Amino acid sequence: MANVAVIGAQWGDEGKGKVVDWLASRADVVVRFQGGHNAGHTLVVGNQTYKLSLLPSGLVNNKLGIIGNGVVVDPEALLAEIERVRSQGLTITPESLRIAENAVLILPLHPALDRARESARGEHKIGTTGRGIGPAYEDKVARRAIRIADLAEPETLSAKLDELLLHYNTLLAGLGVATFSKDVLLARLLELAPQILPYAEPVWERLDTLRRAGKRILFEGAQAVMLDVDHGTYPFVTSSNTVAATAAAGSGMGPAAVGFVLGIAKAYTTRVGSGPFPTELHDATGRLLGERGHEFGTVTGRPRRCGWFDAALVRQAVKVGGIQGLALTKLDVLDGLPELKICTGYRIRGEHFRHLPAAPGAQAAAEPEYETMEGWSDSTHGARSWADLPAQAIKYVRRIEELVEAPVTLLSTSPEREDTILVKDPFEG
């Protein structure tokens, strides 16, 4: 059996939560390998709805959850999330959750700088959530980050805070924002240490043992390929690599351990925040997609921008993300639309492109080239087999497969876990 890595194939919010939850029931361990609490997964299980930001989705299935070294961890947010899901009946203990000891911490000064810089951008905002993820990754690369292991060493914390505050208080003062006290930050970190350290360990060692024992490992990505800091619509991207290759580096395993790469894509397209969106709809159809799909960010609550399915974008994500199969979600949102459009490429300043170029000006100027298909009148909501789908819906799915050059291996027709059509089990490789 192969391990499976799940990544978004658009701009995030593709319904990864349900798919990961469904796959987690077949896995032994679920690993988060990048991002922070700026991304969210919504899981609907029976009459319970779980909103997770840092916790691996497998915990809902009583599976071992691991937060890898590629994740930046806000300890306050993590502890609050643990308490919230405990109140919903989940058991979260150091036996069920492990965190990489070399994961970077998000401190209060990170969101403060994040928000101050975003405000200073004025009309040129990137659309960050303001939760400090970007500054935390900057510290990691600049080799001044405080990591979970440092919580066990008060002298190390004290010395590292000196360096951090020299950097951050200078920036914050320049932006006209209140600065931070070392004594206050150090006291809070020492207070948090005994609450966080029981979860910490060298998770690479545990994962190696699990792999050698033949356990099924599910790697859970946050955000999506087109928000990748290298391959996305830069600078309107997240601050980490979101492609499947990061699953290895972000968890401490070799690349051969990643296994089958499953990309999640909606049957249409959405995006939260700023940045190019060639197929965005500003009309009644766009509003209808948003209303039917309940398109609001899990973490931010911001309404998502909605548009037609962009096959050129997803094909690009398939190539750079290493996607071997697609899980297509929210097909039922398209029920009853008389016609559907699929973007097959772009016209940019009179020239045809099969992909979005890297230059921001070209991305902003991209005009979609559409292929129109007939819609369907019968409902796909709750379908659990191909026989339950209208013929035209099947044609739509097949056309997407052709255009993105990847097979649909899972098809989701409602938020419920059971309303899933399995074409190929990703764990079978």
Q: Which residues are catalytically annotated?
A: 13, 41
Strands 4-8 and 260-266: parallel
d(CA 117, CA 128): 10
What are phi and psi for residue 51, nearest 5 degrees?
-115, 110
Secondary element (H or E) of residue 134: helix 133-142
Contact between residue 39 and residue 297 where contact means Cβ atoms under 8 Å apart: no
Contact between residue 336 and residue 375 where contact means Cβ atoms under 8 Å apart: yes
Buried b (16+ CB within 10 A) or exposed e, 177-193: beebeeeebbeebeebb
Per-residue DSSP letters for 262-327? EEEEESSEEE-SSS--TTB--SHHHHHHHHHTT-B-TTT-PBPEEE-EEHHHHHHHHHHHT--EEE
